Amino acid sequence: MMHPSELLSALLDGELSERERTQVNEHLATCSACEDELNGLHFARAAVRSLPLLELPAGSRPAEEELGDVVHMTRRPPVWIAAAAAAILALFVGMATILAPPTTLEVRLDQLSDQYGARASLEPAMTPRTPMPVLERVAGPIE
């Protein structure tokens, strides 16, 4: 068998098949270079494993109340970003209020129906050829 080099770490970790383990052990019995290498690998493995398992610092676990708001949790933006966002939002809301058409189509049609209905009662020639659906809904007496 050639020097099994990469199999030596796997041997330490119990990650070889039965057949591989037998072959590597047979080789080790006759090869001092590989035995030295195995000792060095064992030293490095033991060194890393000797590092203490550190305690999780307090505050590293998201608190329950924070978990309710994942956006808030992840990376809290600076206060000035929040303030800027609020100002931009307020601006948009204000513009929307000024520029946007009446809130719903239904309301507008109702207003139109009142307007056209009223004019139609005075000027019959202006009555639409095909009645608007909304006029059917307000087909009661026109004030």
The binding site for other proteins (CB under 8 A) comprises 5-10, 13, 15, 37, 40-41, 43-45, 47-57, 59-62, 67, 70, 73-74
Choose between 20 and 110: whose C-beta lies nearer to other proteins.
20
Closest CB 56 distance from other proteins, rounded Å: 5
Give the residue from 3, 1, 13 showing the smallest Cα distance to 34.
3
Closest CB 31 distance from other proteins, rounded Å: 17
Closest CB 21 distance from other proteins, rounded Å: 14
Choose between 25 and 111: whose C-beta lies nearer to other proteins.
25
Please identify which residue in the block is written with the tokens 């809904």.
Answer: 137
Closest CB 37 distance from other proteins, rounded Å: 8
Please identify which residue in the block is written with the tokens 């050829």.
Answer: 129
Choose between 57 and 133: whose C-beta lies nearer to other proteins.
57
Closest CB 6 distance from other proteins, rounded Å: 5
User: Distance between CA 62 and CA 56 in Å, rounded?
Assistant: 12
CA-based torsion, 64, 67, 68, 72: positive or negative? positive
Choose between 60 and 104: whose C-beta lies nearer to other proteins.
60
Choose between 43 and 80: whose C-beta lies nearer to other proteins.
43
User: Distance between CA 71 and CA 76 in Å, rounded?
Assistant: 8
CA-based torsion, 19, 21, 24, 26: positive or negative? negative
Distance from the Cα of residue 112 to its chain's centroid: 45
